[in-house]
Structure 1
Amino acid sequence: MHMRPSRRSWRTAPAALAALAVLTAGCGSTGAGDSAAGTAATGAGKPFIALSNGFIGNGWRQTMIAKFEAAAEQAQKDGLIGKYKVVNAPGENSATEQVAQIKSLLLQKPDALLIDPSSPTALKPVIQQACTAGVKVVVFDSAIDAPCAHVLQNSFADWATQAAKPLLDGIGGKGSVIVSRGVVGSQPEAEMYETTKKILAEHPGVKTVATVTGMCDGATAQKAVLGVLSSVPKVDGVIGCGDGYGVAQAFATAGKPVPAVTFETNGRALNYWKDNKIDNGSVAVMSDPGQSVAALWEALDLLDGRDVPKQLTFPIVLVEQKDLDAWAGALKPDEYAAWPWTRELFRQQVEAVKSGGEPVRPPIPSAAG
């Protein structure tokens, strides 16, 4: 996906590590310190799928793991895989820890290895080691400097576009906005910011009155926006990258009406948006934690010898006003919106990528689970 200091920096949620024990206790999964759990083979001759996750300490990552485990458990029951294993690095998105983690997994001889990487470059040697050993490697949620790996990711340009265009249309294409940037200096943030600037240039009636660094994190954005509110005029919108809940809190603290914002795609933010009847051009958009499930289907198709492009771009998750009630009702507070990728929907999206057609839009889940 991207060159960046840390995925942790993009989606940090306070106290998120408290949920780790729940996420790593499921069938076939294991934390980095519990290498024996979930390793008993249950399907002779069926593939063993391993997932290495470079960081677990936020709600997006926890949703990603939960979705993968649910899909892998069902795939095991359906006889598609023999076993699966998840290993979450315990530290601060450390590439060194993840390299050691992957080497340990390779000793267990998985047929396919899925990786949400801590670094776009540092994992290259161990990924090459896996490929040389005949392991199918699927990297998701990030770009990677490893030519032998297949890569599945979301588009940062799409993320920035959907964070800005619907919001600007919602405020009538005129007024004053604040831009809340992500991890300044990282490749994805640079791509997103350039996209945002191009879109703003297409809206001459919109004036940018302040630019802050919100890190795509609600708490950070809340402090950053609150710090400039006393020095800016009326604000009609705040273009961010999934930090709108914190931005809304900043305006409420300052005693100002909440403008159009870019909300997070978790249940807490969406229900705040819904319960406060905010109808002013706000949107919610982030990358899709369901990428882990799509990566599972990609690994199985690669093992089956199917033709899958080395690079796949899957759709982001965009929540607009018309879909707010459905998404808000489907998510727990710390759960992030994820597309429910079935194997058939995955294959349809692969064909759309090959043909350059419209991306597949899976249905909105009907209930939290």
Structure 2
Amino acid sequence: MRIPSTSWRRIAAAASLATVTFLTSACGTGTGSNGDAAGSAAKSGDKPFIALSNGFIGNGWRQTMVAAFEDAAKQAQADGLIGKYKAINAPGDNSATEQIAQIKSLLLQKPDALLIDPSSPTALKPVIQQACNAGIKVVVFDSAIDAPCAHVIQNSFTDWATHAAKPLLEGIGGKGNVIVSRGVVGSQPEAEMHKTTQKILSDYPSVKTAATVTGMCDGATAQKAVLGVLSSVPKVDGVIGCGDGYGVAQAFTSAGKDVPAVTFETNGRALNYWKDKKIDNGSVAVMSDPGQSVAAMWAALDLLDGKKVPEHMTLPIVLVEQKDRDAWASVLKPDQYAAWPWTRDLFRQQVEAAENGGKPVQPPVPTAAD
């Protein structure tokens, strides 16, 4: 199935809105296309009010995720599917306490549906139950959650960690020294990914972990973290990360060292760097899909319409292998992360696949002709 070029242009627009989205939604002042404050408790006629709570905004993936939601929600509002929408980012560093306070504030505004990218798999359970008790449809995405009343949409973090590590380890011949760059430590996805990474490394006895750093799945953070350990580690053959390879590469370049195999970000800057430098050493680009926020919006609208949605859905990660790298690089802006273009029709195909026990429908890789 091919997605019309307008869909890819909307994704590009989402990336360009990322900075503006951060500035507006972090303060809770996002507006709908009618110019009214999106956080108003009043509905626009009988159309639903959709709110998004994001527990962390400190990397480009999260900014793309929020921007993708805002772009899709704005279009849904223009199409008469929703009345209002609002996205708020917790101000701290993945703090469950601050996100709980944020959600409680949102509940006072009486949204019809609440989308949550959670900071903790357990701490948000009481406030999510509070939302459910108030009749609000809750869709959690990007993480598992200990809250039975919520619907959950996520990617497979085991798949993400596996594709980040195995091609790289095979690319360096299954031996040598690696640095492990961890993601948002304390979050459920990161814990699952780190466990998977350690299990995979145990299958490669000739590979030594020379250092472990916290890169937060963010190139700039990883660059500083890796640069801080390079002087104290021996030759490094690879850096296993969760989408921070561009920053890691800059760290090695700054230190006057050759760039090893890395796990690149799935954004335009990283993919074009990978392409232009002709890197062919086991590097890969893989991350979860920031478009999950849009899929969560379609799930919420279906639930509000009384349609059946599985309580748990696992959607495809975004894996950019070398064979598809140039296609993605040609359609992404530097700070734009690759995201699947979740139309309502494509989401319902996923629902049908889940209900029938089939594999998730794989969205199409863009081409220059799209």
- Specify if TM > 0.5: yes
Q: Which moved more, 1:210-219 or 1:312-321?
A: 210-219
Residue equivalent to 2:135? 134
Contact 1:209 1:232 in 2 (8 A): no
Q: Partners in 2 of 1:49 and 1:194 — Cα distance?
A: 35
Shift of 1:77: 2.1
Q: Partners in 1 of 2:115 and 2:248 — Cα distance?
A: 34
Q: Which moved more, 1:331-340 or 1:213-222?
A: 213-222
Structure 1: 5+ residue runs without aligned partners? 1-17
Contact 2:52 2:88 in 1 (8 A): yes
Residue equivalent to 1:31? 27
Residue equivalent to 2:9? none
Contact 2:181 2:239 in 1 (8 A): yes
Number of aligned residue pairs: 346
Q: Which moved more, 1:106-115 or 1:85-94?
A: 85-94
Contact 1:179 1:208 in 2 (8 A): no
Name the CA shift for 1:47/1:182 in 2 (closer, same or farther; >3 Å).
Answer: closer
Name the CA shift for 1:241/1:31 in 2 (closer, same or farther; >3 Å).
Answer: same
Name the CA shift for 1:185/1:120 in 2 (closer, same or farther; >3 Å).
Answer: closer
The reply to whether residue 47 of structure 1 matches residue 43 of structure 2 is no
- Quote the sequence identity (%): 78
**What's the CA shift string for 1:198-252, capped at 9, x where partnerless?**
3234445x42251321333334433444455456554432222222112212222
Within 5 Å, which residues of 2 pair with 1:1-369? Answer: 20-23=19-22, 31-32=27-28, 37-38=37-38, 44-182=45-183, 187-203=188-204, 206-215=206-215, 216-229=217-230, 234-365=235-366
Residue equivalent to 2:11? none
Shift of 1:88: 2.8
**What's the CA shift string for 1:316-351, capped at 9, x where partnerless?**
211111111122222222222211111122122223
Q: Partners in 2 of 1:91 and 1:352 — Cα distance?
A: 37
Shift of 1:54: 2.6
Name the CA shift for 1:22/1:171 in 2 (closer, same or farther; >3 Å).
Answer: same
Opposite residue 208 of structure 1, the aligned amino acid is K
Contact 1:267 1:334 in 2 (8 A): yes
Contact 1:54 1:117 in 2 (8 A): yes
Shift of 1:365: 4.5
Q: Partners in 2 of 1:77 and 1:285 — Cα distance?
A: 33
Contact 2:211 2:233 in 1 (8 A): no
Shift of 1:176: 4.3
Shift of 1:66: 0.9
Contact 2:252 2:259 in 1 (8 A): yes
Contact 1:32 1:90 in 2 (8 A): no
Opposite residue 99 of structure 2, the aligned amino acid is Q
Shift of 1:136: 0.6
Structure 2: 5+ residue runs without aligned partners? 1-16
Name the CA shift for 1:149/1:175 in 2 (closer, same or farther; >3 Å).
Answer: same
Shift of 1:354: 3.5
Opposite residue 37 of structure 1, the aligned amino acid is A
Q: Partners in 2 of 1:193 and 1:129 — Cα distance?
A: 32
Q: Partners in 2 of 1:286 and 1:177 — Cα distance?
A: 20
Structure 1 SS opposite 2:330: helix
Opposite residue 32 of structure 1, the aligned amino acid is G
Give TM-score, length-normalised by structure 1.
0.82
Q: Partners in 2 of 1:241 and 1:30 — Cα distance?
A: 25
